[in-house]
Amino acid sequence: MKRVALYIRVSSDQQAKFGDSLREQEDTLNDYVKTQKDMIIHSTYIDDGISGQKLERDEFNRLMNDIKNGLVDLILFTKLDRWFRSLKHYLNTQEVLEKNNVHWIAVSQPYYDTTTAYGRTFINQVMSFAELEAQMTSERMKSVFSNKVKMGEVISGSTPLGYSIVDKHLVPNEQADIVRSVFNYYNEYANLNQTSLYLLEEFGIARTMQAVRSMLKNKKYIGEFRENKNYCEPIITKELFESVNRQLDMNQKSNVKNVYLFSGLLVCGECGRKMNSGQKATWGNRRKDGTRIKYPPKSMYSCRYAYQHPKCTNTKTIREHVLEKKLLEMLDDSIREAITELKNVKENIPDIRKKQQSIERKIDRLKVAYLNEIISLAEFKQDKEKLVKELNDLSSETRSNSDEQRIENLEKLLKMNVAQNYNKMDLIEKKAFWRSFIKKIKFNADREISMNFL
């Protein structure tokens, strides 16, 4: 019996659309094996979304390993271009196959035959034409795109903020003023995080810092794209664009990162999401001469989700130094409350265990009732969901970390002179300090602050 490997490949959604899908290939190969009395399928190898010109295919590599390990005698695929379209890669692979006495058949093109010298020569010629066709197609596509760019036509469906596609061309729309504001804002403050927050707070548009950076470096805003210097109508001046990009490059080279003490710890008390950190400058009152003093940016936190979704009502922001002061003031009392709570939980653990066992028995009885058709599937799911929630709530009260150790750690922290030692720490040490004993800090829409300890 010949041990057969079925190899299947689709390089793009287009091929699937035009009738060369993975399922169709697999059905064709399986039907072929059923007609052969001397074949047994060893394994099926499927490479999805991989070009025939590329040698790095995960399933193809697995097939090659199986061949080298003597597990395969024959390879089946539907058409030659499913196997390779690069002559060089084909010849390298064929050398491995011949060393291991492995042949292949293109079941939808039976005139290809690797068992004879004539057949191998014929295949080499076909592979040469296939490779040439692939390269010519690539060159044709490049030429088409290049001509479109020269004509100022859009070559993709995505459009930059501030533009719309009209008759295949980019045309400034009503959001062009937003783009100008963003460029002017960054030109004044030179801070990506701050600019990202400005875009969100002023215009309700959420963008990551990386997305804002890409926007500020997009030459389409000055009317340029690739080799076409007049690709579209510009939104901003070339002078402003160059000024912004000089500052972007300078900031990237300096690689100075702000240290946010509570990033990752501070969560929104309304929606539970982690609050975003950033910096925002403040301005003094306007003076007699009409000017105002700009104060240095200060670290602050806000819930960006609240600006995008009405489900979260926490649109409040809190400055880092205010949060830091509040936490230090409430630290001792919060620790004492946590110690008391842990001691109460410790005393109640036997009762909690009994409640857990009782709920588990109820779930078992519920399963029996469903299996005996006493209750419906909908009733079973609804009742089980309630019981599982109760069980999870009780489980959260019995911590994996020993209560004794947690109490001991908090009591040690209580005995420390935190206020005196804290002021001697630098930013990195302060950040590590808060993370050494705090699991989560909550800040809600009423500006209430609470902390959960590790």
Catalytic residues: 11
Q: Name the CA dihedral angle for 152, 156, 161, 166, rounded to a multiple of 10 degrees.
A: 50
How many residues would you count in the chain?
A: 454
Q: How far apart are CA 217 and CA 226, in angstroms?
A: 13
- Dist. CA 58–CA 65, nearest whole Å: 11
Residues 58, 47 contacting (CB under 8 angstroms)? yes
C-alpha angle with apex 140: 80 to 147, nearest 5 degrees? 160
Instruction: Report d(CA 66, CA 45) in Å as an integer.
Output: 11
Token pair listed for 25: 């290939």
**Angle, vertex CA 421, rays to CA 416 and CA 423, nearest 5:** 145
Instruction: Give the whole-angstrom CA distance, residue 452 versus residue 454.
Output: 7
* Axis-axis angle for helices 238-254, 176-189 (nearest 10): 50
